[in-house]
A and B are shown apart, each in its own frame.
Chain A
Amino acid sequence: PCFGLLGTTPLSVRPRVTAPDFPAGRLRGSSTRVCPRWHDMSTAVPPGVHSIWVINKSGGLVYQKSYADVPAIDTNETLRLASIWHSLHAISAQLSPVEGCLGIELLETQNFDLRCVQTVTGTKFFVTASPKTPGLANLLHAVYDLYCDYVMKNPFYELEMPIRCELFEQNVQYAVRATNNAFGY
């Protein structure tokens, strides 16, 4: 008999892999960290919004915070991921066969959704959340508004530097909570 980790329904037992899975598994939504390929992953994905990232116009990470029980990513790793995303975003805009493409807006994977918004000044806001979470675009625009208010109007904030504004962080937290509550998460 095999028992599931959560003590509910038995999951099929697979040995924990010690090396990251290669392309096919990775593109289907595993994070860059080691992740076992369970068949029934949806029970392990926390519902609602996972994290919010803000990237400045040169590709440097200025804000990253997790709002759900997702595996923590090391700070240097987050910087690296942000600059990779910045590059991918730019590449996707150039690869488009249609004129006027603005870059990746939505990335849907098996275990999470990523929605991204780029402002006219080149600042990118993106949010990761559980699949099919509604209201992410509105959340991103709300975060952009909060950024314009509590970061840009703060005399103690240096442009393009990591955001250390208490009021911004508090209000983003409320916005995330409101998004989660609005849809029953």
Chain B
Amino acid sequence: DARHAGAMSRQGQPTNIVDRPLPKGKSEVSLSAFSFLFSELVQYHRTRASSIAELEQKLSEAGEGVGSRMLEVLAYRDKSNRREIRLQGILQFINTNVWRCLFGKVADSLEIYNDDEYVLGDKSLVVNRYISVPKDFGDLNCGAFAAGVVKGVLVDAGFPAEVSAYYAEVDGQRLPKTNILMKFAPEVMEREKRLGGA
């Protein structure tokens, strides 16, 4: 019904939510609120997972949903309106845009390990800030959530990859930094080669 589809409320905003413009973004959320919510998420999955690997898998899946939505929103807000088709491009996008939008800062380092393995480093991952993993959980890293976000972005942008998070000791720093390892599927590397450049 055309009358309802274009109906405007008194403020001049369309009443239908799909017709309203996207909010500008740049809104900050309380770190405490997020930490408590994330803590509950981890506890929820902890009672339902039978192993550490499964727990990390569940956290990663939770992050994937966030990642794919972030890709859409950030690509929309990006002034240049370009779609990243090169590996370097999408990695830079994650490194700066995604990290800045989610965590308020750029990721600390982006390195290449092998031909198809890239590592994003962060000295103090926000999701891990208040978490002390007890010894009997081995090398569980709740940064698996951030790894899931990265995976969501990569997969939806057309760069299928296996992404995981692990701790890495750093000389001269008391707390280990979190590395997010991205292993790209062979078709991605082939396409990169075809498009020119290593």
Binding site for B on A (CB under 8 A): 149-150, 152-156, 164-168, 170
Contacts and interface: CB of A to CB of B under 8 A. Distances in A.
Interface string B25-48: 000000010011011101100100
Contacts of B35: 149, 153
Contacts, number: 37
B134 interface: yes
Given A153-B32, A156-B137, A165 B132 contact: yes
B133 interface: yes
Main secondary structure of the interface of B (DSSP, over half): helix
Nearest to B174: A170
A104 to B, nearest CB: 30
Nearest to A169: B132
- Which 8 residue pairs of A and B lie closest in terms of their CB atoms, listed nearest first? A155-B42, A153-B130, A165-B132, A153-B35, A155-B39, A166-B132, A167-B132, A155-B43
B85 interface: no
A156 B130 contact: no
A164 B43 contact: no
A10 to B, nearest CB: 46
Nearest to A167: B132
Given A153-B131, A155-B38, A156-B137, 12 more contacts: A149-B35, A150-B132, A152-B36, A153-B32, A153-B36, A155-B42, A155-B46, A165-B132, A166-B132, A167-B132, A168-B132, A170-B174
A168 B39 CA distance: 16
28 contacts: A149-B35, A149-B130, A150-B132, A152-B36, A153-B35, A153-B36, A153-B39, A153-B130, A153-B131, A154-B39, A154-B131, A154-B132, A155-B39, A155-B43, A155-B131, A155-B142, A156-B131, A156-B132, A156-B133, A164-B132, A164-B134, A165-B132, A166-B132, A167-B130, A167-B131, A167-B132, A168-B132, A170-B174
Contacts of A166: 132
Interface residues of B, number: 17
A154 B131 CA distance: 5
Interface string B104-133: 000000000000000000000000001111
B149 to A, nearest CB: 18
Residue from the set B32, B36, B132 with the largest chain A CB neighbour count within 10 Å: B132
Interface in B1-51: 32, 35-36, 38-40, 42-43, 46
Nearest to A146: B130
A152 B39 CA distance: 9
Contacts of A150: 130, 132
B163 to A, nearest CB: 21
A149 B130 CA distance: 6
A155 B142 CA distance: 10
A167 B130 CA distance: 7
Contacts of A156: 131-134, 137
Contacts of B42: 155
Nearest to B42: A155
Contacts of A165: 132
Contacts of A170: 174
Interface string B172-184: 0010000000000
A91 B131 CA distance: 37
A152 B137 CA distance: 19
Contacts of B36: 152-153
Contacts of A153: 32, 35-36, 39, 130-131
A166 B174 CA distance: 12
